[in-house]
């Protein structure tokens, strides 16, 4: 089972160069923490990225909520990624037909494929969405996560939807490297997908708006996932973002070390 192996061991089995580099980064930095930077101003996003950068393996953005987005924001974020040794994940959740997502990924205001190492997609439209994103991303050494499950109450991403999503990932392993999921699925035929789990918290279990939080140890050790995604638990309500990021980094990493013993 791949969950019992170290990130470094697993990196040697990946054909996608970004997935390989990401697993190596996690081991090198001793971090499986991704911060969900859902902020609406350029200044706040850059400031947060700089504060949490030393502790994270991945910065997750929703770039279309930034009111004053410009190319300078992209330039600064990519510079911070290099400075602090983390990757960038634009949480775009593509959900349209293949030709449309090609344009959304490569063009428009955001030109996501030009700067985001990782992005993600729903599989509701069928495999054409993967094919479209793959045509743009694969030549740029980008990679894709599929939304197999979500952390919100009442989600429809479950059951047959999840099963079909996993099958599609297996078909396009050169580009699809993992899932947004609440648990690790059974490995088959040399599978080694990267599992990223949102809705992680050390101090709360719910926000009253449908989000349900799980403890880092439950996600990494009990459920066998690889990356904890944390947002408001790190920077919400006036928290010291750097201090909280370090706390979550340690919790996630300790759970990982316990898992691979």
Which active-site residues does the annotation give? 91, 93, 96
Helix (H, G, I), strand (E, B) or coil at 59: strand
> Does the annotation list 233 as a binding residue?
no
> Does the annotation list 151 as a binding residue?
yes
Helix (H, G, I), strand (E, B) or coil at 39: coil
> Does the annotation list 6 as a binding residue?
no
DSSP H helical ranges for 53-184: 71-84, 98-106, 128-137, 160-171
> Does the annotation list 30 as a binding residue?
no
Tell the burial category of 85 from Cβ atoms under 10 Å away from its Cβ (0-12, 13-18, 19+).
Answer: middle
The tokens for 147 are 């939304």
> Does the annotation list 232 as a binding residue?
yes
**Radius of gyration, CA atoms only, the chain:** 17
> Does the annotation list 108 as a binding residue?
no
The set of residues, in sequence order, having a beta carbon less than 8 Å from that of 257 and lying 6+ positions away, is none
The tokens for 198 are 């949102």
The tokens for 31 are 């971090």
Q: Which residues are annotated as a binding site?
A: 38, 60, 151, 211, 231-232
Q: Which residues are annotated as a binding site for substrate?
A: 38, 60, 151, 211, 231-232
């Amino acid at each position: 089972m791949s969950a019992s192996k170290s990130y470094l061991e697993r990196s040697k089995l990946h054909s996608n160069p970004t997935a390989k580099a990401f697993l190596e980064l996690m081991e090198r930095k001793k971090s499986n923490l991704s911060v969900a930077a859902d902020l609406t101003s350029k200044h706040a996003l850059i400031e947060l990225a700089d504060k949490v950068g030393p502790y994270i393996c991945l910065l997750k953005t929703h770039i279309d909520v930034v009111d004053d987005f410009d190319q300078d924001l992209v330039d600064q974020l990519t510079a911070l990624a290099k400075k602090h040794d983390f990757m960038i994940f634009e949480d775009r959740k593509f959900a349209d037909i293949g030709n449309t997502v090609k344009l959304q990924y490569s063009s428009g205001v955001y030109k996501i494929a030009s700067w985001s190492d990782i992005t993600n997609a729903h599989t509701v439209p069928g495999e054409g969405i993967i094919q479209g994103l793959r045509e743009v991303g694969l030549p740029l050494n980008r990679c894709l996560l599929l939304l197999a499950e979500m952390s919100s109450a009442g989600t429809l991403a479950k059951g047959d939807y999840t099963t079909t999503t996993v099958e599609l990932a297996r078909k396009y392993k050169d580009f699809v490297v993992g899932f947004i999921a609440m648990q690790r699925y059974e490995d088959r035929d040399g599978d080694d997908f990267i599992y990223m789990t949102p809705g992680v918290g050390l101090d709360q279990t719910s926000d009253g708006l449908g989000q349900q939080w799980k403890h880092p140890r439950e996600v990494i050790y009990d459920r066998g996932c690889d990356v904890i995604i944390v947002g408001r638990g790190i920077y919400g309500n006036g928290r010291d973002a750097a201090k909280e990021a370090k706390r979550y980094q340690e919790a996630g990493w300790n759970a990982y070390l316990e898992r691979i013993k």
